């Protein structure tokens, strides 16, 4: 295999896109002796956010809070970071950029995995007229919600580079075409209307996009075996489907697909698998959907997630009272002190409420506007971990 085939296309100072790649919404403070690149700084900023830290308690596929060995969202993010590093390093691309994008790519996920995302989207379409999707929410989080206390003691927005922000909203891995190449134009990322509408702006973003897909295939099979989703007959079917004598484990799946991509990708044809590699990926994906993601064993927990998230939303929604909304939240907190008390405190960071002397972030919600208030609720719920959402539900139903 030939290394560094994409070296001349890497996101670095020699790129004709460089000024756009490192563009931020506003100036960012710098240290005179800072040794970090713009993308290293973005990685550090994402790494220290609440949204990133909460990923360790958010479902990836299996809701199994008592099993320390089942992959959670943070494990998936780390796998994507590892796979994208290997590919980008071999191809000669910017590993600092792939690392930053991978670190932040799933911060927009809500509790309870893709089922939780679907529930929030149903609520959002009904009450706001917009779909909720984690890539768009991830961009909203890094642009508007997540705050860091800077060296001067003030809370400010993350203010990430365009390249990293683009990689986050463009990362959707649920694609079947076998060639990824970056787009040429630097669009306003707020123009995104649905997942996978645009290709990423960088080759590095394309790498994270395909790594996202590779990362979960084998892990989900391993987890399904632990959770007894796959009996001996189903495992035999998998072996026969893939033409192997022994179980194809996660390590061999990742190794096979990563090497295949490194061997077959080129600047002319894009990031791609061989025909055999694509067939292997799609066979595993089809198998996973049949026996894991769409399994009847998933349905009871999904009904529970629906109940939990909708009940939390309804309690918060009932607090809307026009100009008196914030006061009503405070008044109703006597019934649900944790849920409403913390929601009120959270809102104060993003609304024109009270003392903002230590706040230098954007005001993004007008909670006297009904749809904006509902949007704030959905954003707040999306930030919850599985356990926290369940705790809030239990507070609601207990007297």
Give yes or no for a contact between 385 and 58, defined as CB atoms under 8 angstroms apart.
yes
d(CA 100, CA 41): 9
User: Residue 337: how many CB atoms within 10 A of its CB?
Assistant: 11
Instruction: Give domain status of residue 130, yes or no.
Output: no
Domain boundary among 276, 294, 312: 294
Domain hosting 318: range is: 298-397
Tell me how far apart the alpha carbons of residues 284 and 78 are, in angstroms, rounded to a whole number. Answer: 21
Task: Say which range, 2-11, 73-82, 248-257, 334-343, has the weakest mean pLDDT.
Answer: 248-257
Do both 286 and 357 map to the same domain?
no
- Tell me if 122 is assigned to some domain: no
Residues 285 and 310 in one domain: no
- Banded pLDDT at 262 (limits 50, 70, 90): very high
| Judgement on whether residues 366 and 288 belong to the same structural domain of the protein | no
pLDDT cut 70: percent of the chain above it:
97
Q: Are residues 204 and 271 in the same domain?
A: yes
Higher pLDDT, 323 or 178: 323
Classify 202 as helix, strand or coil: coil
On the question of pLDDT at 168 being above 90, the answer is: yes
Q: Quick check: 148 pLDDT over 70? A: yes
- Asked if 134 and 99 touch (Cβ cutoff 8 Å), the reply is no
Collapse the DSSP code of 314 into the 3-class scheme (helix H, G, I; strand E, B; otherwise coil) and give the result: helix
Ranges of beta strands (E only) in the chain are 147-149, 155-157
Per-residue pLDDT tens digits for 303-319: 999 999 999 999 999 99
Q: Which domain-ending residue is among 259, 294, 329? A: 294
Same domain for 230 and 318: no
In a domain, 157, yes or no: yes
**Burial track 189-219 (b if 16+ CB lie within 10 A, e otherwise):** beebeebbebbbbbbbbbbbbbbbbbbbbbb
Confidence of residue 66 (pLDDT cuts 50, 70, 90): confident
Q: What pLDDT band is residue 246 in, cutting at 50, 70 and 90? A: low
User: Lowest-pLDDT range, 64-78, 167-181, 215-229, 366-380?
Assistant: 167-181
Rounded mean pLDDT, 117-146:
97
For residue 352, the model assigns a pLDDT of: 85
pLDDT at 124: 98
Is residue 176 pLDDT above 60, yes or no?
no
Q: Kindly indicate the confidence band of residue 34, based on its pLDDT and cuts at 50, 70 and 90.
A: confident
- How would you label 291-313 residue by residue, b for 16+ Cβ within 10 Å and e otherwise? bbeeeeebeebbeebbebbbebb
Q: What is the CATH number of the domain that holds 220?
A: 1.10.3210.10
Q: Is 211 inside any structural domain? A: yes
- Is residue 245 very low, low, confident or very high in pLDDT (cuts 50, 70, 90)? low
Measured between alpha carbons, how far is residue 194 from residues 3, 137, 178, 189, 394 in Å? 35, 11, 20, 11, 34
Domain identity same for 154 and 41: yes
Q: Give the torsion sign (CA, 33, 37, 42, 45).
A: negative
Same domain, 306 and 269: no
Average pLDDT over residues 254-274: 95
SS3 182: coil
Torsional class of 228: left (φ above 0), alpha (ψ -120 to 50), beta (otherwise): left
Closest CA to 207 of 99, 282, 74: 99
Tell me the pLDDT tens digit for each residue of 342-391. Answer: 999 999 999 988 777 777 788 999 999 999 999 999 999 999 999 999 99
Q: Is residue 49 part of a domain?
A: yes
Residue 174 confidence (pLDDT): 59
Do 272 and 357 belong together in one domain?
Answer: no
pLDDT greater than 90 at residue 173: no
Q: In this structure, how many other beta carbons lie within 10 angstroms of the beta carbon of residue 75?
A: 18
User: Does any domain span residue 358?
Assistant: yes
Do 244 and 155 lie in one domain? The reply is yes
Q: Which of 277, 165, 292 is nearest to 237 (CA)?
A: 292
Q: Is residue 259 part of a domain?
A: yes
Average pLDDT score over the chain: 93
pTM over 0.85: yes
Residue 177 pLDDT: 64
Q: Do residues 278 and 308 both lie within one domain?
A: no
CA distances from 272 to 39, 199, 285 (A): 25, 14, 17
Mean pLDDT of 110-134: 97
Indicate whether 39 belongs to any domain.
yes
Last residue of a domain, one of 294, 309, 337: 294
How far apart, in Å, are the Cα atoms of 238 and each of 121, 229, 251, 284, 297?
A: 33, 13, 16, 8, 19
Query: Does one domain contain both 52 and 185?
Result: yes
- pLDDT band at residue 248, thresholds of 50, 70 and 90? low
Predicted confidence at residue 308, as pLDDT, reads 98
> Are 151 and 276 members of one domain?
yes
Total domain count, the chain: 2
């Amino acid at each position: 295999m030939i290394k560094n085939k994409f070296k001349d296309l890497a996101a670095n100072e020699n790129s004709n896109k460089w000024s756009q790649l490192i563009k931020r919404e506003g100036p960012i403070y710098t240290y005179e002796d800072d040794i970090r690149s713009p993308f290293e700084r973005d990685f550090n900023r994402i790494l220290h956010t609440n949204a990133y830290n909460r990923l360790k308690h958010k479902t990836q596929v299996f809701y199994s809070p008592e099993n320390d060995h089942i992959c959670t969202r943070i494990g998936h993010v780390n796998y994507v970071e590892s796979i994208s590093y290997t590919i980008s390093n071999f191809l000669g691309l910017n590993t600092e950029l792939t690392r930053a994008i991978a670190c932040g790519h799933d911060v927009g996920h809500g509790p309870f995995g893709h089922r939780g995302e679907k529930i929030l989207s149903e609520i959002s379409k009904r009450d706001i007229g917009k779909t909720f999707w984690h890539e768009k929410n991830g961009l909203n989080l890094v642009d508007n919600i997540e705050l860091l206390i800077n060296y001067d003691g003030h809370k400010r927005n993350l203010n990430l580079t365009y390249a990293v922000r683009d990689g986050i909203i463009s990362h959707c891995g649920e694609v079947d075409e076998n060639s990824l190449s970056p787009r040429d134009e630097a669009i306003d990322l707020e123009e995104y209307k649905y997942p996978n509408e645009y290709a990423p702006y960088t080759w590095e973003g394309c790498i994270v996009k395909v790594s996202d897909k590779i990362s979960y295939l084998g892990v989900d099979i391993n987890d399904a075996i632990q959770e007894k989703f796959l009996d001996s007959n189903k495992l035999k079917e998998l072996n026969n489907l893939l033409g192997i004598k022994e179980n194809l484990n996660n390590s061999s799946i990742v190794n096979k697909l990563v090497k295949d991509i490194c061997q077959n990708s080129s600047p002319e044809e894009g990031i791609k698998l061989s025909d055999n590699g694509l067939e292997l990926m799609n066979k595993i994906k089809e198998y996973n959907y049949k026996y894991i993601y769409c399994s009847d064993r998933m349905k009871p927990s999904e009904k529970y997630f629906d109940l939990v998230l909708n009940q939390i939303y309804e309690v918060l929604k009932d607090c809307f009272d026009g100009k008196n909304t914030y006061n009503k939240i405070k008044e109703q907190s006597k019934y649900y002190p944790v849920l409403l008390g913390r929601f009120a405190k959270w809102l104060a960071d993003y609304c024109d409420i009270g003392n903002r002397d230590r706040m230098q972030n954007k005001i993004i919600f007008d909670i006297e506007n009904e749809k904006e208030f509902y949007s704030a609720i959905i954003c707040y719920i999306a930030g919850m971990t599985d356990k926290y959402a369940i705790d809030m539900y239990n507070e609601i139903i207990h007297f």
